[in-house]
Amino acid sequence: MNNWIKVFVIFLVLSLGSCQTHRKKVITLAHGLDQQHSVHKAMLKLGEVLYQKSGGTMEVRVYPSQQLGAERELLELLQLGSVDITKVSAAVMENFVPEYGVFSVPYVFMGKEHAFTVLDGDVGRRILESGRKVKLHGLGYYDSGSRSFYTKSTPIEDPSDLEGLKIRVQESVTAMAMVEAIGGAPTPIAFGELYTALQAGVVDGAENNPPSFYLTRHYEVCRYYSINEHSRIPDVLLMSTHTWDRLNDQQRAWLEEAVKESVDFQRLLWQQSEQEALDAVKEHGVTVNYPDKEKFEEKVKDLKDSFQQDPLIRELLQAIDQLKP
């Protein structure tokens, strides 16, 4: 679709959907995930809670499955104020706000509990607030688990198994550097185009969490899933500063309470969906293996050390290390 036509269609959809009386504030929330995903369900929960807390004066209308665009497009629509809220991976956010790059550092967290301590504390809040300089107000973090490699023709038992393989990565400088350090050939491709790219042999594999691997049906093409857990990059819920700044103090308080309940709800759903996804792909004939993570950590050691050269990232890494259990 021609870009100008697409912009017009989005404008028309939002204009028709955002008609509101002087009493009701309608918030447009768009994202690129399947409606079965825990994040989508948590967004519906956010809308329910906000509607209840506001006495029906605030309503969230959710547009899933890239109806209004992919992640980068939605970020740009937020900056324009055409969309109110979206969810993107923190890896995509680092292209807009450098602080988010710390989440893409491989093996930056010791595990899930360490990650939640960071995200829900001062470090996480500082990073959320850093987006205001580019009109992106951070609301909270959804769990997206840990990312591992999945491939079409061979399991990844050792870093050397990645040599010569084209691996899809997000549009993240850090993600590309990580795959390259391990030995693969990083290839940025939009998530919505990945299934076709795997089928056509444009890439030999990708890296993501179990629910994403399952819900996208990538297991139909990639028959090996190797759980090396090289990164734990959260999803970020963001609001346009155009919208946030128009809310009064009471509306902001209601929204923050609804976000908190939504985040807690999603993390419970995510824990269930991870195991369900692994069980499901095994039933479909996927070989799931657990390589020695220390071998992968050793391959990215120089890359991790290189982040110390950036004063901003070095400071954040030190703060994260101090929160290790």
Residue 174, pLDDT score: 86
DSSP letter, residue 232? -
- Residue 189 makes CB contacts below 8 A (sequence gap 6+) with 168, 197, 202, 203
Low-confidence ranges of the chain (pLDDT < 70): 1-22
pLDDT of residue 15: 53
User: 276: which residues sit within 8 A by CB, 6+ positions away?
Assistant: 211, 214
pLDDT at 1: 46
131's CB contacts (< 8 A; 6+ apart) are 93, 96, 97, 100, 137, 138, 238
Structural domains of the chain sorted by starting position, each given as residue range(s) with its CATH number in brackets: 3-143+234-275 (3.40.190.170), 147-232+285-321 (3.40.190.170)
Residue with tokens 């491709």: 189
Do the beta carbons of residue 302 and residue 107 sit within 8 Å? no
SS3 18: coil
pLDDT at residue 183 in the model? 95
Collapsed DSSP state (helix, strand, coil) of residue 58: strand
Report residue 33: phi and psi, to 5°. -90, 160
Q: What are phi and psi of 250, to 5 degrees?
A: -65, -40
pTM: 0.86
Direct distance between the N- and C-terminal alpha carbons of the chain, in angstroms, rounded to an integer: 50
